[in-house]
Structure 1
Amino acid sequence: MNKDKFSGSVDQVKGEAKEQWGHLTDDDSKVVEGKVDKAKGKVKEGVGEVKDTLSK
C-alpha cells in the first residue's frame, strides 16, 4: 500500500465519521463536509492504485 492509498483510506474514514456526527447532531454542513472528505479519499485511493499499476 503506497502513501496515496493509505491517505485516501484515512480520508474516507474521517469523512464517514464527520458525516455520522453531522447526522447525529443535525448539522448539515458536517454531513456535506464528510461526504466531500469521503469523495476526496476515494480519488486519492484511485490515484494510488494507478500509481501501483504503473510502477509494475
Structure 2
Amino acid sequence: MVFDRFYRTDRSRSRHSGGAGLGLSIAQAIVKQHQGSIHISSVQQVGTEVNILLPAH
C-alpha cells in the first residue's frame, strides 16, 4: 500500500512544501529492476526504516 503511487497516510502529516507521493513507488520499481527487495518497518512516534537489498553482481 505505501508503495502505491500518490499514497499518503494522513493529510496532517503531509509535507507543507507538497510532494507528488511518488518516491516509494519509484524506489520500488528501481529495486525490482535490479532483482532486489525493499521493506519498510515503522514504529509510531519513533520512526520509519526503509531497507533496500540489491544483489552483488
Please give the range of the TM-score, normalised by the shorter of the 2 chains: 0.3 to 0.5
Question: Which structure's relative contact order is higher, taking Cα pairs within 8 Å and 6+ residues apart?
Answer: 1
Q: Give the structure with the higher percent strand.
A: 2
Q: Give the structure with the higher percent helix.
A: 1
- Taking structure 1 as the reference length, the TM-score comes to 0.35
